[in-house]
């Protein structure tokens, strides 16, 4: 097990993160609403629920999957009306075509590339045909703080790398919205590719 994958490393990181406020940036739910009226959403790698909050505020019926036990407990406590599962993104305990929206926020970037693909394929399986996949992942090509912070992360893909990964996983890019020009943080919206 590598350090990016370790329960202790993530539990420690999440304990430190408890002092940070929950995210209130509504970009992700607003983008989801632009493309689908479906309200059943799932976050993969939800941590302590920072990005559950915007979908909660937007009134989604939301679930979270997370590999760190401590984080699952915190999310349960913070959002008792929603459901959280201790599991890995590549082994999702859900039926085929059961979600309208699935999203990740700085989660895929902590998985080696072949494991990213497993997660993307598992997401493809549980998303409805007209469902959406939204990602906010560091692309390793950013500037300033962003670039320095993840310059050593061997798992970071470039934006083109994400497009290739998604294509192999069965998704195409619908829209990209830059939410921070300085750090180049962006939300990417993906739709299932339909066979013709």
Ligand X SMILES: C[S@@+](CC[C@H](N)C(=O)[O-])C[C@H]1O[C@@H](n2cnc3c(N)ncnc32)[C@H](O)[C@@H]1O
Binding site for ligand X (CB under 6 A): 10, 44-47, 50-51, 65-68, 71, 88-90, 105-107, 110-111, 119
Closer CB to ligand X, 51 or 156, in the complex? 51
Nearer to ligand X, 75 or 170 (CB): 75
Q: What minimum distance in Å lies between the beta carbon of 66 and ligand X?
A: 5
Nearer to ligand X, 7 or 130 (CB): 7
Shortest reach from residue 55's CB to ligand X, in Å: 12
Whether 86 and 66 have beta carbons less than 8 Å apart is answered as yes
Q: What are the DSSP calls for 103-146, one per residue?
A: EEES-GGGS-HHHHHHHHHHHHHHEEEEEEEEEE---S---HHH
In whole angstroms, the minimum distance from the beta carbon of 196 to ligand X comes to 32
Between 105 and 186, name the residue whose CB sits nearer to ligand X: 105
Beta strands in the chain (DSSP E): 40-44, 61-66, 83-86, 99-105, 127-136, 171-180, 185-192
């Amino acid at each position: 097990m590598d350090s990016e994958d370790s329960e202790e490393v993530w539990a420690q990181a999440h304990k430190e993160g408890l002092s940070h406020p929950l995210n209130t940036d509504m970009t992700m739910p607003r983008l989801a609403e632009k493309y689908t009226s479906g309200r059943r959403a799932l976050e993969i790698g939800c941590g302590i629920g920072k990005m559950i909050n915007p979908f909660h505020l937007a009134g989604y019926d939301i679930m979270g999957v997370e590999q760190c036990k401590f984080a699952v407990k915190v999310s349960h406590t913070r959002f008792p009306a929603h459901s959280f599962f201790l599991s890995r993104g590549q082994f999702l305990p859900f039926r085929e075509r059961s979600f309208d929206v699935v999203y990740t926020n700085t989660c895929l970037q902590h998985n080696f590339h072949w494991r990213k693909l497993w997660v993307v394929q598992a997401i493809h399986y549980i998303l409805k045909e007209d469902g959406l996949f939204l990602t906010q992942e560091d692309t390793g090509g950013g500037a300033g703080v962003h670039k320095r912070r993840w310059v050593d992360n061997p798992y970071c893909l470039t934006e083109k790398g994400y497009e290739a990964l998604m294509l192999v996983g069965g998704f195409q890019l619908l829209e990209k919205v830059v939410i921070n020009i300085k750090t180049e943080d962006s939300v990417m919206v993906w739709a299932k590719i339909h066979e013709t």
